[in-house]
Structure 1
């Protein structure tokens, strides 16, 4: 058996509850090239919204089964919460065999120590969003929400998505990107030369000048019909974007 050496990273798939080509692409990826990965990291927003494990594991039963098959095959799958699926919990991880990863988290990819994050924590210029983020990540607020009837949770989630879309149209584009000073502080605080994150839907590799030398910040692509890309990191630390399996 060929040794698994390359690492697969993806984020911001925003899988809808309804049948979708995006869901098909994920299942193809999990049953295909992901089987050759040394590990798979999903850096948030795997789902368009997640109103609780009690609902999500049924709605996304096929994806749950595909994740379980991958982890049962010996490929570790580690996830971070995003701003759409921060209610992923223990029922989900038990059903899939996956593991929740703190945000941010330092891991070794190939030969390089790398900081992984969903990325929304660094979008501090979007003051309104950060206010919502603090509320949504509050354990008490989450506990109250999860006690609501499913129909009410669905209405709340739908209202939040609508409001989010409207606000994006009104906000300046730069406000919704990461703050460069926050990112620089993260490089220093975690003593890394590479950061990989999602959230902003602005895929690119940015060269960063650090006190210790050259660094890089890689922004993962969001998934859209006809454009579903992932990031592979090889054993020597080289990172490259590639199309997900069809």
Structure 2
């Protein structure tokens, strides 16, 4: 059966070996039977540079490279610094933050999803700042140990800030969703980031549209499958 698979928000780290094991099992099983695999960001909990000698990164790169299907990656808010060196090592193609695909006769827009959370103005200001190329180059030029300390502080600050935000603010804005789909002329959107797995159906300019949201890999795996029959959200045990 021809199908394309999408995953996001695994947040891989050494402190969560069960999730890593689940992902490796997925790559050796389910992912073998697809036309392509798209990873829509936050594959890793944090990324401070391709020169980080973390053995987990080397393990994941080797496992991805061994997967004999095309692999694509869109950066998330946790791993937006993942670069060409790691992409080459893992056999992945890096994509822009928005990408339109034509799958089985259907136009599909894919992204990480954080740019749709426009009600969270504090986060959007932070995102604009850290996506400045000069600042990224400056950060990556720092010693690895310094980058580790900065990243740990930023994660702690983010966690504390999110505790005081309402769930609705951290979700996508429907107007932003419709604007992106209109701009890209797509009736289907697939994204992650919000950790709220669902398929939402709505009307876009009088026509049927849908937004598929990937789940985070906490207790089980989550993927979206697109085939000739449409879009499906599938959860599965590690």
Q: TM-score range by the shorter chain?
A: over 0.9
More helix by proportion, 1 or 2?
1
Measure, in 1, the Cα distance between the counterparts of 2:51 and 2:208: 46
SS at match of 1:183: helix
SS at match of 1:17: coil
1:39 matched residue in structure 2: 36
TM-score by length of 2: 0.95
Say whether 1:25 aligns with 2:22. Answer: yes
Among 154, 162, 166, the alignment partner of 1:160 is 154
Aligned residue-pair number: 238
Instruction: Tell me if structure 2 keeps the 8 A contact 1:68–1:97.
Output: yes
Say whether 1:233 aligns with 2:230. Answer: no
Instruction: Tell me if structure 1 keeps the 8 A contact 2:214–2:233.
Output: no
Measure, in 2, the Cα distance between the counterparts of 1:218 and 1:56: 35
SS at match of 2:175: helix
For structure 2, the residue ranges without an aligned partner over 5 or more in a row are: none
2:193 matched residue in structure 1: 199
SS at match of 1:113: strand
Say whether 1:134 aligns with 2:128. Answer: yes
| 1:243 Cα deviation from its structure 2 partner | 1.2
Among 209, 234, 237, the alignment partner of 2:203 is 209
Measure, in 2, the Cα distance between the counterparts of 1:238 and 1:175: 27
Instruction: Tell me if structure 2 keeps the 8 A contact 1:111–1:236.
Output: no
1:50 matched residue in structure 2: 47
Residue 42 to residue 56, structure 1, CA distance change in 2 (3 Å): farther
Say whether 1:13 aligns with 2:10. Answer: yes
Instruction: Tell me if structure 2 keeps the 8 A contact 1:232–1:242.
Output: no
Q: Deviations over 1:85-136 (max 9, x none)?
A: 0011110111011001111110023331000010001111111111111111
SS at match of 2:230: coil
Instruction: Tell me if structure 2 keeps the 8 A contact 1:57–1:92.
Output: no
Measure, in 2, the Cα distance between the counterparts of 1:59 and 1:153: 18
2:60 matched residue in structure 1: 63
TM-score by length of 1: 0.92
Q: RMSD over aligned Cα, in angstroms?
A: 1.4
| 1:167 Cα deviation from its structure 2 partner | 0.8
Measure, in 2, the Cα distance between the counterparts of 1:56 and 1:192: 40
Measure, in 2, the Cα distance between the counterparts of 1:116 and 1:110: 15
Runs of 4+ in 1 over 4 A off after TM superposition: none
Instruction: Tell me if structure 1 keeps the 8 A contact 2:212–2:233.
Output: no
Instruction: Tell me if structure 1 keeps the 8 A contact 2:118–2:172.
Output: yes
Say whether 1:121 aligns with 2:109. Answer: no
Measure, in 1, the Cα distance between the counterparts of 2:187 and 2:7: 20
SS at match of 1:174: coil
Residue 142 to residue 17, structure 1, CA distance change in 2 (3 Å): farther
Instruction: Tell me if structure 2 keeps the 8 A contact 1:53–1:92.
Output: yes
SS at match of 1:166: helix
SS at match of 1:53: coil
| 1:210 Cα deviation from its structure 2 partner | 1.1
